[in-house]
């Protein structure tokens, strides 16, 4: 490792689009041969009259079947294995945010590659073996724990498996160990910051923090800027999902201009979720990923249900891996209220533009008689008893949300610390509607 190099794996990170394409095709063909060891894919390919040799170019990817979360559930737990179980060394299960959990199996080689992916991301944002990395995300089945642990160790950093929660202990570790980088879900960072404020700790003066990796849940650009500002750090968006290993799939570089998805590890497609046809660059669609380096459980054209769009295929950082916009949320996070489609992130974006408002909010959908409506509760940043000002603020927030989503919500400003906080992924929407969902 050469600390001066901006790249951890220059041989892959700086490939031209053409070279990347050649590598992807080679790896795709290998992956398809591997898939024939799984009864699930064997059967699906046979039904379609398709053989791995039929895939001769990257465009041929479109001939391949999609894989869905339901397929993973139907084959739970080991029905998609492509190697004998005795060659698998670990399994992870999705955190089950949306229904029955699913299982992903890993061989030792899979875990090694995964650690490489994460290490590459962390290197990309300027972390080096001299850094002290505190992983303040849940461990266990949640891949953000072990995924970052092994990646940070692979890079050579002193890695602190602090896990989520216990903010006082987190702050002590940050100060005692000279932590320079943290990984956490964005909602937890804001919680950590409020505890720092309560304790009279100024992260800018009293800690060595400089880099944050934030991800695992949708968050807006406005939320990121707030986190950077209050913590005095650079905060980079980290995208991952258990089906694709976990963290390390997509990560921002220091340009902060979208998530680089590592195309030597994945084939990235954006499709229209209804027609399943590819959408043009710049247009929002569903992210579909094919693994290229996995042996225990490769996945072909996995429908992630995450909605995003292509921003570009080159970057001033010298990496030509595709850049995707921050995720809007999953198609199943989308709220349909009185026929209008709304993503919680649209509301967050508005709330974060008001300095008078805090970081925690909750959207409740409820019905009264025949009507469905939305209540947006948001904490105020600082205590105040100026009711006139609060009323005006409430009105203004309501107006701005209406401009964005075209429906008028009920806005309630609540004192700081009153809304629930979770140590894992934040719950932003509660649906209590009875009439129509
Ligand atoms: P679960 O599916 O149970 O939530 P995962 O940990 O596998 O468990 O979650 C992966 C999902 O989390 C992604 O599909 C995506 O919806 C969301 N996610 C992960 N990272 C980000 C991110 N940086 N921005 C927005 N959403 C993210
Ligand atoms: Zn870049």
Question: What would the pLDDT profile of 70-85 be if each residue is shown by its tens digit?
Answer: 999 999 999 999 999 9
Q: Which fold has domain 335-431?
A: GMP Synthetase; Chain A, domain 3 (3.30.300)
Ligand 1 centre and the CA of 385: distance in Å? 39
What whole-number distance in Å separates Cα of residue 184 and Cα of residue 148? 10
User: With a 6 A CB cut-off, is 302 part of the ligand 1 pocket?
Assistant: no
What whole-number distance in Å separates Cα of residue 288 and Cα of residue 310? 12
Which atom of ligand 1 is nearest the CA belonging to 306? 16
Ligand 1 centre and the CA of 350: distance in Å? 22
Of the listed ligands, the closest to the CA of 348 is: 1
Query: What pLDDT is attached to residue 437?
Result: 44
- What are the boundaries of each domain within the chain? 1-333, 335-431
Which of 217, 287, 334 best tests ligand 1's pocket when mutated (most atoms within 8 Å of CB)? 217
- pTM summary value: 0.92
Which atom of ligand 1 is nearest the CA belonging to 215? 23
Q: Which residue has the tokens 């976990």?
A: 246
Nearest of 177, 188, 195 to residue 144 by alpha carbon: 188
Domain 1-333: CATH class, spelled out: alpha beta
User: With a 6 A CB cut-off, is 94 part of the ligand 1 pocket?
Assistant: yes
Of the listed ligands, the closest to the CA of 257 is: 2
The band of 403, judged by pLDDT with boundaries at 50, 70 and 90, is very high
Nearest CA to ligand 1 atom 12: 216
User: With a 6 A CB cut-off, is 209 part of the ligand 1 pocket?
Assistant: no
Name residues whose C-beta falls within 8 Å of residue 362's C-beta, 6 or more positions apart in sequence: 376, 377, 378, 419, 420, 427, 428, 429, 430
What whole-number distance in Å separates Cα of residue 406 and Cα of residue 394? 17
Of the listed ligands, the closest to the CA of 245 is: 1
Question: What would the pLDDT profile of 80-127 be if each residue is shown by its tens digit?
Answer: 999 999 999 999 987 556 667 899 999 999 999 999 999 999 999 999
Query: What pLDDT is attached to residue 98?
Result: 60
Element holding 73 (H helix, E strand):
helix 69-74
The answer to whether residue 153 scores a pLDDT higher than 80 is: yes
Average pLDDT, the chain: 94
Which atom of ligand 1 is nearest the CA belonging to 142? 6
Ligand 2 centre and the CA of 270: distance in Å? 20
Helix axes 344-351, 387-405, angle to 10 degrees: 140
């Amino acid at each position: 490792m050469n600390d001066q190099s901006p790249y951890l794996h220059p041989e892959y990170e700086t490939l031209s689009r053409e070279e990347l394409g050649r590598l992807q095709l080679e790896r795709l063909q290998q992956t398809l041969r591997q898939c024939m060891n799984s009864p699930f894919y064997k059967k699906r390919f046979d039904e379609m009259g398709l053989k791995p040799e039929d895939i001769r170019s990257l465009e041929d990817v479109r001939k391949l079947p999609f894989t869905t979360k339901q397929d993973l559930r139907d084959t739970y737990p080991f029905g998609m294995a492509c190697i004998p179980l005795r060659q698998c060394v670990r399994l992870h299960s999705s955190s089950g945010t949306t229904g029955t959990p699913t299982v992903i199996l890993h061989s030792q080689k899979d875990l090694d590659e995964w650690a490489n992916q994460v290490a590459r991301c962390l290197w990309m944002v300027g972390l080096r073996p001299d850094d002290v990395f505190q992983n303040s995300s849940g461990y266990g089945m949640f891949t953000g724990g072990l995924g970052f642990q092994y990646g940070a160790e692979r890079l050579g950093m002193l890695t602190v498996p602090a896990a989520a929660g216990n903010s006082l202990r987190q702050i002590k570790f940050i100060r005692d160990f000279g932590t320079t980088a943290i990984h956490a879900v964005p909602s937890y960072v804001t919680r950590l910051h409020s505890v720092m404020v309560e304790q009279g700790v100024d992260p800018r003066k009293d800690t060595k923090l400089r880099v944050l990796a934030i991800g695992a849940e949708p968050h807006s650009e406005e939320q990121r800027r707030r986190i950077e500002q209050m913590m005095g750090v650079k905060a980079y968006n980290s995208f991952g999902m258990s089906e694709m290993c976990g963290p390390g799939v997509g990560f921002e570089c220091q340009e902060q201009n979208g998530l680089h998805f590592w195309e030597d590890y994945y084939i990235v497609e954006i499709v229209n979720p209804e027609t399943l046809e590819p959408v043009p660059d710049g247009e929002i669609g569903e992210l579909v990923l094919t693994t290229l380096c996995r042996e225990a459980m490769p996945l072909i054209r996995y429908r992630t249900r995450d909605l995003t769009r292509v921003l570009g295929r080159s970057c001033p950082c010298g990496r030509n891996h595709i850049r995707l916009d921050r995720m809007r949320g999953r198609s199943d996070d989308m709220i349909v209220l009185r026929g209008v489609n709304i993503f919680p992130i649209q509301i967050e974006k508005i709330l974060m533009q008001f300095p008078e408002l805090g970081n925690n909010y909750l959207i409740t959908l409820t019905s009264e008689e025949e009507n469905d409506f939305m209540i947006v509760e948001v904490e105020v940043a600082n205590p105040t008893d100026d009711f006139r000002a609060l009323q005006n603020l409430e009105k203004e927030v309501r107006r701005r949300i209406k401009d964005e989503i075209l429906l008028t919500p009920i806005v309630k400003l609540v004192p700081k610390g009153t809304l629930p906080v979770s140590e894992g992924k934040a719950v932003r929407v509660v649906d209590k509607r009875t009439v129509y969902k």
